[in-house]
Amino acid sequence: MEASPGNGPPSAVRCQASHLRFADRREILVLAYRGAVGPGTRGADDARHMAADARLALAAFGGAALVFDLSRVAYAHGDGLLGLLHLDADPEAQPLPRTLVAGARSRDGLASLVPGAPLFDDVATAAAEAHRRAVALARGDDERSDAPRMYILVRAAVPLAFAVAAAAHASVVAYARFRDHGQTRAWLGGDLRKAICRVSDADFERARAIEGHVVIHEAALGGASVALAFRPRVVWPAWVGDLPLYK
């Protein structure tokens, strides 16, 4: 597949989608881009076109994981590409593992955009790592202890309908608040690991002492604080890992 969406200003960046199938029949979707992304805010339209192409390819072909091949892209700087890397922002969705292939004209820019995220030199190696992560995710393994994770804590007393809305809102607000932090960028370039926990009032108040969070309030419940969302990070207090997941 090769396409560029027709809405908005035209972009010189093109996307070609293909699959790599592994022995276990899992297919990795490879999105190979070529062209030049404008610097800074001038690249916003290019980035939107790139993300739109990726969503079309993902909807049409699917895949157990994604490889973004930017080896033939010229990219220096600008936050617009975060929208490409952060395709599945829904906190209720299972995150798709994704890996990045960089080239001579994109490596420095990508290293600045998502510090800490591995940048691969070729598609085959990147796809093998994406496949490994997809297998580990399917098994429920949590072997990558060095991967940043976002925690979202929802008060146990909050009714389910409000809890779902609060979790979704919390994820977006936390991303917007902490998007420029290094570990948030590493999180965006990785597996988008999240944990949504249902917590007591006591644990909710205890968690407020952890730096780097946003509080979500619900007007329909009298403005009560219903959720906390934390900046993605690798190291968490031990007790946070023992909190019950929302089921």
Q: What is the CATH number of the domain that holds 17?
A: 3.30.750.24
189 occurs within a structural domain: yes
State whether 213 and 131 are in the same domain: no
State whether 113 and 153 are in the same domain: no
State whether 134 and 165 are in the same domain: no
Given 116, 139, 162, the domain boundary residue is: 139
Q: What is the chain's pLDDT, residue by residue, as a tens digit (247 residues)?
A: 444 444 455 678 999 999 999 999 999 999 999 999 988 777 888 988 998 899 899 888 889 999 999 999 999 988 888 878 766 444 444 567 889 999 999 999 998 888 777 899 999 999 999 998 888 777 765 445 567 899 999 999 999 999 999 999 999 999 999 988 888 888 877 778 899 999 999 999 999 999 999 999 999 999 999 999 999 988 888 889 889 998 7
User: CB under 8 Å to 124, separation ≥6 — which residues?
Assistant: none
Q: How many helices (H) and strands (E) does the chain have?
A: 7, 10
Structural domain total, the chain: 2
State whether 109 and 163 are in the same domain: no
- Does residue 30 contact residue 19 with C-beta atoms inside 8 Å? yes
| Containing structural domain, residue 231 | 149-242
Angle 98-103-107 from CA coordinates, rounded to 5°: 75
Place of tokens 């949504």: 196
- This prediction has a pTM of 0.62
d(CA 89, CA 223): 25
State whether 115 and 90 are in the same domain: yes
Instruction: Using alpha carbons, list the distances in angstroms from residue 114 to 37, 63, 82, 171, 244.
Output: 16, 23, 9, 18, 30
103 occurs within a structural domain: yes
- Does residue 143 contact residue 136 with C-beta atoms inside 8 Å? yes
State whether 226 and 154 are in the same domain: yes
Count CB-CB contacts under 10 A for residue 111.
14
Per-residue tokens: 234: 């690798």
